[in-house]
Structure 1
Amino acid sequence: MKKNLLLFAFLLMFVPNMISAQGFKLPKDKKFEKINFEMINNLIVLPLEINGSKLTFVLDSGVSKPILFNLSDKDSIQINNVSEVTIRGLGDGEPMKALSSIGNAFKLGDAKNYNQDLYVVLDKEINFSTSLGIPVHGILGYDLFRDFVVEVNYAAQNIKLHNPALYKQPSSKKAQTLPITIEKRKAYVEGTVLMKDEENVPVKLLVDTGSSDALWLFHQPEKGLDIPEKNYEDYLGRGLSGNIFGKRTKVRGIKIGDFELKDAKAAFPYRESFGYIKNLGDRNGSVGGEILKRFNIIFDYQRGQVTLKKNANFRDPFQYNLAGIALQHNGLRYIAESIADFTGVVRNDDSTFGNVQILLENKTRLSLVPEIIVSGIRAGSPAAEAGLQEGDVILAVNGKKIHRYKLQEVLKMLNEREGKRVRVMIERFNQDMHFSFVLKKVFD
C-alpha cells in the first residue's frame, strides 16, 4: 500500500539549529488557557494563528520545531526572516529543502509567542489533509511542552496550557505520575512489553502524540524484541522523508506504570526508515495516539514527569484495517440528485473540502462534493480479493452515498466489525461497479 490514512509519522529527527530567543506566555496572573481540539485518527488537531493567519496544526510531541507543510490556493501567510535549509525526518527518501524562518507570531487563544521559529516544507507531497479529511497545515510540538504544563483531556477533546509558575497538580488516587526523560527536545517514558512465552521486556519509548498508531517497536532480538510469528507487511505511515513500511502484529500487552493494555496492536518498522540514525541508543520504540488517547495526560517537562489517568477510551478495542483498503480525498466532483421540492437554496460549506449545492428549476440538485478514492490496497486483504483497485472512486458503502459522510466515517463503515459483509459501489473508468467482501481477522 502506497498511502494509508490511518497512520502517520510526523517525527523530525534532524534540523539545523536556530538561535532566536523565544517562548510562549500567558497574560500575567492567568493560570491556564483552555483550547478545544478535534481528534481525528487519534491525532490532536488544534486551531493555530501564525502572523495573523488562521491555520490548523497537529500537536506532535515527537517534533522539535513547528513545521508548516501544506498551504492551498486559498491560504495566505506571511513568514519572516527566511533562509534555505535542508531537513530530514523518518522515511525512506532523501533529505529535502525547506525554509527556516524566525521571528514569527504564534497564537493559541491567549497563549502567545511573538518570536517563534518555524520551518516551511515546500514539497507538495507532504500533505496529510487528503488522508485526514480536513485541512491540516502543519505540526507543533516541543515549544508548547517546554513552556507550559500541558494537560490533554482526550475524552473531552480539549487541552489546558498551564502557567508552570502557578500550576498545582490536583491529587487523584486514580492517576499515576511517572518520570520522563527529555532528550533532544523529545520525551521518553519507560514501560514493559509483554512478548510471547511470558517474556516481559523493559522498553524505553518515545511519547509521540503525532503518531496515530499504537505501539512501534524496533526489531531488537538480542533485547527480546523479536517479531511475532503472526504478522503481515504493511504501510505504517508517511514521515517527512518518505514512506515507512514494516510488519504489523500484536503483542500480549504493554505496561506503562501500573496500567496494562492486553493484546496491544504493534508494528515493527523497517530499519531503513531510521537509516540516517546511526545509533538508536537505548530507545526501543514509540507509543502513539491509539494508546495515549486511553488516558487523560498531564505533561510536565520542567519537572520531568507525566501523569496518566484512565478515561472512557481505556477499554476500547484496538483498531485494525480489516478491509485492507486505504482512502483519501482527491479533489472535488459533481453529483446530480433529484429532489422533491425546489427551494432555490445555494449552500457553500467551507469547513470541509467543498460542499456547494445548486438547485436547478427541474428539481435536480447539482452538488460539488469531495471525491474519495482508494489510495492503497493490502495484498491478500478482503478488498483486494474482491477486486477493488487503487484509484477506484468510492460512491457508496452498504447503500449509503458516501458524499454525505466525513472521510473517517466512511473508513469506519468499511471496517466496522469482523464477519460483517461490506458492499461497495465504485466508479472505474466512468463505469459504476459493485463489489462485496466479508471482514475477517487480520491475525487468525
Structure 2
Amino acid sequence: MKKFGLFFLVLTLCIPFLGTGQSFELPNGQKYQKVKFELVNNLIIIPIEVNGTELSFLLDSGVNQPILFNITDQDSVQINNVSEIKIKGLGEGEPIKALSSVGNTFKLKSITNQQQLLYVIIDKSLNFSTSLGIPVHGIIGYDLFRDFVVDINYATKTIKFFDPDHYVYKKDKRKEILPLTITGKKAYVDANVFIADSENIPVHLLIDTGSSDAIWLFEDEEIGIPAENYNDFLGKGLNGDIFGKRTKVNSIQLGSFVLSDAKAAFPDTRSFASIKNLGNRNGSIGGEILKRFNIVFDYPNQKITLRKNSMYKSPFHYNLSGITLQHDGLRFVSQRISDGRGVVKSKEGSFGNVQILFENHTRLSLVPEIVVSGIRAGSPAETAGLKEGDIILAVNGKSIHQYKIQEIKQMLDEKKGKKIRVLIERYNRDLLFSFVLEDLFKHKKP
C-alpha cells in the first residue's frame, strides 16, 4: 500500500558542518511576536518569508535546519550561495540529492534572520501539499525553538515567540513544568507508558511537532508490542515509506497528566537504519498528543510547560475505513443552478477556485480531484472493493468537491458502526460502494 503521510522524525544530514549562522531576532524593545497558524491534521503551518517570498512552513521540532521541498514553477524564490549535498533521513531508500544555501533572509512577521542556512530538495515526489490539502513549501524547527521561548496555544491556533530575557513564568495551578532534555538540537521529555497488563514503563521520547501521529515506540526487551495490533503504513520520511504496527496502549503519563487508551505505533526498525545511535530514546510523541495541551517550549532553560486544553479528552483518531486520500490535479464539475448568479469563488485556501456560468443555468467549476492513494489490506474499504486510484465523487450522498480533504477524511472515519457509502469514478464509470466502520481491535485476541 502506498500512502502520502507526513511524519518527519529525526532528520539526519550527511553533510559537512556549515555553522549555525545568525540567530532569529526581534526588533529592539519588542518582547514577543504573536503569529497565527493553521492546524491541519495535527500539524502547525506558519507563514515565513524567504528572501522576500512568502511561503508556508511546517513547524517541526524534529528537524535541525530549514528545508524547502515543494517549490514549483508557480513559485519564484531567490536562493543564495548554493552548493550540492546529500541528505539521509527516515525511510528505506538511498540518500537524496539536495542543495545547501547560506546567507538567506527569513522573516516571520517582525522576527528576522538575515543569515539563515537552508537546504533545498529538488525531488518532486516529496510533496505533502497533496495529502494536507494546503500548500506546504518546507519545514523549520530548531532555529526558532533555540532563539525564543515558544508558547503554542493549540486551542486558539496562535504562537507567541518570546525573547528569553523577557519571558516571565506566572504561577498557575493548571500548568505543570517538566524537564526538557536538548540533545543533538532535538528536545526530549520523560514519560511513562502502560502497555496491556504491564507495569509502568519509563520512556524517553522525542517531542516531534512535525508528526501528526500520537506515540511511536521502539520495541525492545522492556517495551513489547501489544497483542491487539495490525500492520499499517505509518508515513513517509525523506528516504521512503515507513511501515509498522498500529496499536494502542493503556495509557501514557506526562507529569501528572494521564491519557488513557492512547493511540500508538511501533515503526519497523529498518526505517531507522540511517540513525546509527538512538541512545536512550524509546520513541516519539507527536501532534495528536501535543494538541491536547497548550505548551511552552523553553529550550534555553530546558523546560516545557503543559496545560490541558479543550481537546484534552478528544478521542484518538484511527483510519477506520482504511482509505488514504490525496489531491491529484483538478477536474471540472457541472452544476444546475436557478438563481442566476455569476462567477463564484470557492472556499479560501482550497485548490480549485474557478467557476464559470453558462446561460444562467449551469455552473462549471474547476475543483480538486481527490483520489484513493492507498488502502490498508483487510480494511472495510478494501473488502468492499475500492481500489487505489479510484476518484472520490461523493461520501454518504455529499458531493466532496465542496469540502477540504481533512473534512472528507472525517466523513470516511466518523465512528465505529457507521455505514459509509462512497461514490467513485473508475475508468470513466461511476460505481457505488458501501461498508461499515469496524472496531480495529475487536477481532484481535491476546
TM-score, structure 2 normalization? 0.97
Residue among 431, 434, 441 paired with 2:432: 434
Shift of 1:339: 0.8
Equivalents in 1 of 2:352, 2:433: separation in Å? 27
After TM superposition, the structure 1 = structure 2 runs for residues 334-349 of structure 1, keeping only pairs within 5 Å, are: 334-345=332-343, 347=345
Q: 1:427 to 1:316 in 2, by over 3 A?
A: same
What is residue 2 of structure 2 aligned with on the other side? Answer: 2
Q: Separation in 1 of the partners of 2:80 and 2:204?
A: 38
Q: Distance in 2 between matches of 1:241 and 1:324?
A: 24
Give the letter for the 2:120 counterpart. Answer: V
Contact 1:10 1:240 in 2 (8 A): no
Structure 2: distance between partners of 1:14 and 1:440: 41
* Post-superposition offset of 1:20: 5.2
Query: Residue 209 of structure 2 aligns with which residue?
Result: 209
Cα offset, 1:338, TM superposition: 1.1
Q: In 2 relative to 1, CA 82–371 (structure 1 residues): closer, same or farther, beyond 3 Å? A: same
Looking at structure 2, the residues matched to 168 and 299 of structure 1 have their Cα atoms a distance apart, in angstroms, of 13
Does residue 85 in structure 1 map to residue 85 in structure 2?
yes
Corresponding position: 1:107 with 2:107: yes
Moved over 4 A (4+): none
The letter for the 2-side match of 1:434 is L
- Counterpart of 1:414 in structure 2 is 412
What SS does the aligned partner of 1:165 have? helix
Cα contact 1:4–1:237 (8 A) shared by 2:
yes
Please name the residue that 1:165 is paired with: 165
Q: Tell me the alpha carbon deviations over residues 109-155 of structure 1, each in whole angstroms, 9 at most, x when there is no partner.
A: 11111110100000111100000000000000000000000000001
AA aligned to 1:129 is: S
Structure 1 pair 346–73 and aligned structure 2 pair: CA distance change class (3 A)? farther
Structure 1 contact 4–235 (Cα < 8 Å) conserved: no
254, 257, 263: which is aligned to 1:259?
257
Alignment of 1:312-327 (within 5 A): 312-327=310-325
After superposition, give the CA deviation of every residue in 1:69-119 in whole Å (9 maximum; x if it has no partner): 001221110010100011111111110010000110101111111110100
Unpaired runs of at least 5, structure 2: none
Deviations 1:216-263 (A, max 9, x none): 00011x1x1111111111000011111100000011111111111111
CA offsets, 1:23-60, max 9 Å, x none?
Answer: 10001111110000000010000011100001100000
Match of 2:68 in 1: 68
The Cα shift of 1:11 comes to 3.6
| In the alignment, structure 1 residue 368 sits paired with structure 2 residue 366 | yes
Verify the 8 A CA contact 2:89 2:239 in the aligned structure 1. yes
- Please identify, of 71-80 and 384-393, the stretch whose mean Cα deviation from structure 2 is larger: 71-80
> Counterparts of 1:24-103 in structure 2 under 5 Å?
24-103=24-103
- The Cα RMSD (Å) is 1.2
Q: 1:13 is matched with which residue?
A: 12
Match of 1:219 in 2: 219
Residue 244 of structure 1: aligned partner: 242
Partner of 1:397: 395
Structure 1 residues 176-195: aligned runs within 5 Å: 176-195=176-195
Q: How many residues align?
A: 441
Conserved 8 A contact 2:10-2:90: yes
Specify whether residues 348 and 212 from structure 1 end up closer, same or farther in structure 2 by C-alpha distance, changes over 3 A only: closer
Return the letter of the residue paired with 1:207.
I
Alignment partners' CA distance in 2, 1:293 and 1:351: 22
Per mean C-alpha deviation after superposition, the further-off stretch among 114-123 and 194-203 is: 194-203
Structure 1 residues 199-225: Cα deviation after superposition (integer angstroms, max 9, x where no partner): 2111100000000000000011x1x11
Residue 346 of structure 1: how far off its partner (Å): 5.2
Partner of residue 352, structure 2: 354
Q: Structure 1 residues 41 and 348 mapped into 2: Cα distance closer, same or farther (>3 Å)?
A: closer
> What is the TM-score when the length of structure 1 is the normalising length?
0.97
| Equivalent-residue separation in structure 2 for 1:10 and 1:361 (angstroms) | 53
Q: Which amino acid aligns with 2:133?
A: G
* Structure 1 residue ranges without an equivalent (≥5): none
User: CA contact under 8 A between 1:47 and 1:55: conserved in structure 2?
Assistant: yes
Structure 1 residue 8, shift from structure 2 partner:
2.2
Aligned equivalents of 1:401, 1:416: Cα separation in 2: 17
Deviation at 1:276, TM superposition (A): 2.0
8 Å CA contact retained: 2:4, 2:128: no
**2:332 alignment partner, SS class:** strand
Amino acid at match of 1:115: Q
Q: Secondary structure at the match of 1:125?
A: coil
Taking the aligned partners of 2:59 and 2:343, their CA distance within structure 1 comes to 38
- Aligned partners of 1:38 and 1:52: how far apart in 2? 21
Please give the alpha-carbon distance, in whole angstroms, between the structure 1 residues aligned to 2:68 and 2:157.
Answer: 23
Alignment correspondent of 1:299: 297
After TM superposition, list the pairs within 5 Å mapping 1:109-128 onto structure 2: 109-128=109-128
CA drift of 1:345 comes to 2.2
Contact 1:4 1:236 in 2 (8 A): no
Contact 1:181 1:189 in 2 (8 A): yes
Aligned partners of 2:296 and 2:305 also within 8 Å: yes
Identity %: 60
**Partner Cα separation in structure 1 for residue 54 and residue 347 of structure 2:** 17
Which AA in structure 2 matches 1:318? Answer: F
